[in-house]
Amino acid sequence: MRHPHGLRSAAGAAGGGGGGGGGGGAYPKLSTIALAIGHAVSPHVTAYPFTVAGGLGSKYSNPGTLPAANGYAVRFSWAQNVIAVGSAASPYIDAYAFSSSTGFGSRFSNPSTLPAGRVEATCFNSTDSALFCAHFNSPYIAAYAWSNSTGFGTKYSNPASLPAGTGTGIAITPSDNAVALSSSANPYIHAYAWSNSTGFGSKFSDPATLPPDNCQSIAFSGSGGAVMAVNRDTSPYVSAYAWSGSGFGAKYSNPGSAIGGSSFAVAFSNANDFVAIGSNASPYIYVYPWSDSTGFGTKKSNPSTLPVSAVRGIDWAYNDGAIGMGGDSSPFINMYAWSASGFGTKYADPATYPTGNGEAFAFC
Write the DSSP string, 47-108: EEEEETTTEE-PPPPPPSS--SS-EEEEEE-TTSSEEEEEESSTT-EEEEEEETTTEEEEEP
Residues whose CB is less than 8 angstroms from the CB of residue 116 and which lie 6 or more positions away in sequence, other chains included? 135, 136, 137, 138, 139, 140, 142
Is the pLDDT assigned to residue 125 strictly greater than 90?
A: yes
Q: Which amino acid type is present at position 258?
A: A
Answer yes or no: is pLDDT of 162 > 50. Answer: yes
| Tens-place pLDDT, residues 63-99 | 999 999 999 999 999 999 999 999 999 999 999 999 9
Average pLDDT over residues 36-49: 97
The DSSP H or E segment spanning 240 is: strand 238-244
At a CB cut-off of 8 Å and minimum separation 6, what does 139 contact? Answer: 116, 158, 159, 162, 163
In this predicted structure, what is the pLDDT of residue 30?
64
Contact of 46 with 63, CB cutoff 8 Å: no
Mean pLDDT of the chain: 92
Query: b/e per residue, 171-207, with b = 16+ CB within 10 A?
Result: bbbbebebbbbbbbeeebbbbbbbeeeebbeebbeeb
Q: Please name which of 67, 175, 84, 94 lies closest in space to residue 364, comparing C-alpha atoms.
A: 84
pLDDT digits (tens, 9 = 90+) for 165-183: 999 999 999 999 999 999 9
Nearest to 78, CA basis, from 8, 149, 143, 1: 1
Domain boundaries, the chain: 18-363
φ/ψ of 167, rounded to 5, equals -80, 125
pLDDT of residue 18: 37
- Quick one: pLDDT at residue 29? 66
Band (pLDDT 50/70/90 cuts) for residue 28 is low
Specify the amino acid at residue 14: A
Residue 318 backbone dihedrals phi, psi, to 5 degrees: -50, 135
Whether 21 shows a pLDDT value over 50: the answer reads no
> What is the tens place of the pLDDT at every residue in 187-234?
999 999 999 999 999 999 999 999 999 999 999 999 999 999 999 889
pLDDT given at position 22: 42
pLDDT in tens, 230-281: 998 899 999 999 999 999 999 999 999 999 999 999 999 999 999 999 999 9
- Kindly calculate the radius of gyration of the chain based on its CA atoms and give it in whole angstroms: 18
Provide the pLDDT confidence category of residue 135 given band limits of 50, 70 and 90: very high
Reported confidence tier of residue 10, pLDDT bands at 50, 70, 90: very low
- C-alpha closest to that of 295 among 228, 347, 224: 228
Question: Residue 206 to residues 93, 187, 199, 200, 222: CA-CA distances in angstroms?
Answer: 29, 7, 20, 16, 21
**What count of Cα atoms within 13 Å lies in the side-chain half-sphere of residue 10?**
39
Q: Which residues contact 362 (CB under 8 A, 6 or more apart)?
A: 12, 13, 14, 15, 18, 35, 36, 37, 74, 75, 76, 313, 315
> Does residue 116 register a pLDDT over 80?
yes
This prediction has a pTM of: 0.93
d(CA 121, CA 167): 8
> What pLDDT shows up at residue 318?
87
Q: What is the pLDDT of residue 233?
A: 87
Q: Residue 319 in 3-state DSSP? A: helix
Q: What letter would DSSP give residue 24?
A: B
* Secondary structure (3-state) at 31: coil
- Whether 74 and 265 have beta carbons less than 8 Å apart is answered as no
Q: Is pLDDT larger for residue 23 or for residue 143? A: 143
How many residues are recorded in the chain? Answer: 364
Kindly tell me if the per-residue pLDDT of 304 is higher than 60: yes
In the prediction, which pLDDT does 8 show?
A: 29
Q: Residue 104 forms beta bridges with which residues?
A: 98
Fold of 18-363: Methylamine Dehydrogenase; Chain H (2.130.10)
DSSP, residue by residue, 145-182: EEETTTEEEEEPPPPSS--SS-EEEEEE-TTSSEEEEE
pLDDT at residue number 31: 76
